[in-house]
């Protein structure tokens, strides 16, 4: 077959020029997708609801790229000059975007952040939309048909996008975080522009101007990339009221520990997990009402709880023989095991010989294990995004129930019944939909306000079934089946709370099962993996207080 001849009036470009353009297309495809993912990740980190943030980000990016592609038809001459200038603009705007967005967010104005996000996406997306048409025209002018040029450009652009999509979560974020990833992508854009300037220097109308601008941009982004850690501390310090004493970015989350006097606070992805001033109220309430009530507690499972605080309370019971702790982020466990401020709080619980740590997703663990446990603690972050919402679904709680000993109990942290009333009772109803007998209770944690929990038992069992043989079903008349019965059990059983506590006593536990009118149960739907009602209830509840 004969090769397709060059179009009339065009000359066959040299191999270096062609290779440079193909390299440029590949890098720009990677950088373009990196900017989309980074802006979406920043918005998710700051605002939550990953599906919403990424949908908005990708939609705005695509429409802005369409605008850029349309505007490219007005660029008629000096294509190389225009292309290099666009690379400098994209590199600076895209590289600085995560830093600027976080700084704007620190001003505590949601509408201002939304405006800044819209401006950043529009500028970056429009500039990226200009790149591909210009590159296609430049490749086409080297020789050959438009059909061949377009096929080469789009193919390499898509391959580059794949590399960017894989590289961000696996390489860039673990090593450099969101800020550093933005700077690296911006650096690559500017570098591509300067490489093309060197190759096409004889065809560029303003080489000195572009070279000076490119070197300045390259220097700024290089210095910023080399100063990621102090920049992160500077930005994060504007987001937190107290001094940051530890900050780690992992493939799963951003871990921040702050300190003000004797108050140590842990934040995951910007959301407070505990304050040392009152964390004992939360963790005692999460653990002891249920663990004191089960007849046997040799085997305990903790889902989440990588800070070791719930584990500290569990290990107070001498009859606990083995604890399985499942946390998806091994770095969270390691920080809690080695960082002095946290080890002092959890009393070195993560070094206890009775503990086994499983660094894996809770859902995956429950699918894989065949073990049963006499007490299960679900101490996971609030369902502020769609991924976490799956851990508050009927499917997840059904797996939990499958691994529960017949006379065991499950304690679930369940957000605030005051601030997110519908979300709290949705968790309660979802546990019931999984076939469990459930009791709602709550307590006051000053750092969080009124905070809620759910205590669930297998439908064939109850706290009162202490004399039943293992595996023997208790009749419907004998099992716990109505809310008032569990507090009565607490009032009548002397053996409860056999360990030292700083906050709880039997009277407080009994009272915690009572709810006032403004936090009483409301009609809600249960949540499933495919219909995550909890996410809508949670966002709706907390949004009114922000």
**Distance, first Cα to last Cα, the chain:** 68
Beta strands 263-268 and 254-260, pairing class: antiparallel
Task: Give the C-alpha separation, 354 to 311, whole Å.
Answer: 11
Read off the DSSP letter of residue 241.
S
Q: How far apart are CA 359 and CA 365, in angstroms?
A: 9
Q: Identify the three-state secondary structure at position 193.
A: helix
Greatest distance between any 2 Cα atoms in the chain:
98
Q: How far apart are CA 473 and CA 24, in angstroms?
A: 69
CB 128 within 8 A of CB 66: no
CB 521 within 8 A of CB 440: yes
- The DSSP string of 472-535 is PPPPTTTS--STTHHHHHHHH-TTS--S--SS--HHHHHHTT---GGGS--------SSS-HHH
Catalytic choice (81, 157, 307, 379): 379
SS3 292: coil
Residue 325 is encoded by which pair of tokens?
């702790």
379 a catalytic residue: yes
Q: Rounded CA gap, 104 and 381, in Å?
A: 26
**Residue numbers annotated as active site:** 379
């Amino acid at each position: 077959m004969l090769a397709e001849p060059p179009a009339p009036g065009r000359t066959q470009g040299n191999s270096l020029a062609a290779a440079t353009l193909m390299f440029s297309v590949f890098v720009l495809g990677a950088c373009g997708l990196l900017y989309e993912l980074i802006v979406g990740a920043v918005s998710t980190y700051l605002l939550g609801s990953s599906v919403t943030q990424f949908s908005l980000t990708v939609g705005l990016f695509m429409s802005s790229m369409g605008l850029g592609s349309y505007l490219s038809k007005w660029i008629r001459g000096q294509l190389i000059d225009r292309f290099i200038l666009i690379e400098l603009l994209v590199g600076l705007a895209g590289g600085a975007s995560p830093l600027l967005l976080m700084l704007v967010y620190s001003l505590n104005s949601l509408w201002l952040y939304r405006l800044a996000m819209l401006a950043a996406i529009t500028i970056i997306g429009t500039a990226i939309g200009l790149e591909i048409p210009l590159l296609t025209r430049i490749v086409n002018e080297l020789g050959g048909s438009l059909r061949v040029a377009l096929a080469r450009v789009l193919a390499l652009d898509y391959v580059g996008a794949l590399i960017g999509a894989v590289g961000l979560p696996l390489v860039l974020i673990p090593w450099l975080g969101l800020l550093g990833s933005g700077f690296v992508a911006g650096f690559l854009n500017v570098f591509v522009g300067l490489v093309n300037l060197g190759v096409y220097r004889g065809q560029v109308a303003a080489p000195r101007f572009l070279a000076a601008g490119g070197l300045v941009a390259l220097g700024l982004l290089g210095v910023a990339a080399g100063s990621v850690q102090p920049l992160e501390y500077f930005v994060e310090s504007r987001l937190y009221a107290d001094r940051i004493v530890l900050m780690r970015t992992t493939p799963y989350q951003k871990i921040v520990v702050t300190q003000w006097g004797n108050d140590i606070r842990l934040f995951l992805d910007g959301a407070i997990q505990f304050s040392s001033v009152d964390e004992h109220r939360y963790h005692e309430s999460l653990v002891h009402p249920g663990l004191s009530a089960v007849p046997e507690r040799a085997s305990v499972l903790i889902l989440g709880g990588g800070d070791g605080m719930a584990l500290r309370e569990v290990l107070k019971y001498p009859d606990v023989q083995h604890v399985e702790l499942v946390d998806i982020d091994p770095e969270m466990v390691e920080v809690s095991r080695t960082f002095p401020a946290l080890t002092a709080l959890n009393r070195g619980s993560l070094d206890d010989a009775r503990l086994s740590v499983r660094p894996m997703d809770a859902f995956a663990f429950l699918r894989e294990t065949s073990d049963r446990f006499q007490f299960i603690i679900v101490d996971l972050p609030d369902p502020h995004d769609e991924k976490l919402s799956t851990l508050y679904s009927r499917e997840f709680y059904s797996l939990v129930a499958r691994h529960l000993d017949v006379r065991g109990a499950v304690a679930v942290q369940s957000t605030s019944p005051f601030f997110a009333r519908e979300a709290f009772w949705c968790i309660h109803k979802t546990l019931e939909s999984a076939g469990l007998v459930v009791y709602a209770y709550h307590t006051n944690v000053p750092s969080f306000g009124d905070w809620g929990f759910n205590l669930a038992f297998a439908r064939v069992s109850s706290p009162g079934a202490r004399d039943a043989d293992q595996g023997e079903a208790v009749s419907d008349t004998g099992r716990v089946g109505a809310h008032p019965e569990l507090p009565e059990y607490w009032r009548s059983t002397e053996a409860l709370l056999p360990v030292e506590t700083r906050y709880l006593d039997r009277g407080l536990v009994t009272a915690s099962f009572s709810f006032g009118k403004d936090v009483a149960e409301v009609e809600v739907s249960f949540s499933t993996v495919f219909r995550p009602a909890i996410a809508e209830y949670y966002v709706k509840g907390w949004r009114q207080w922000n």
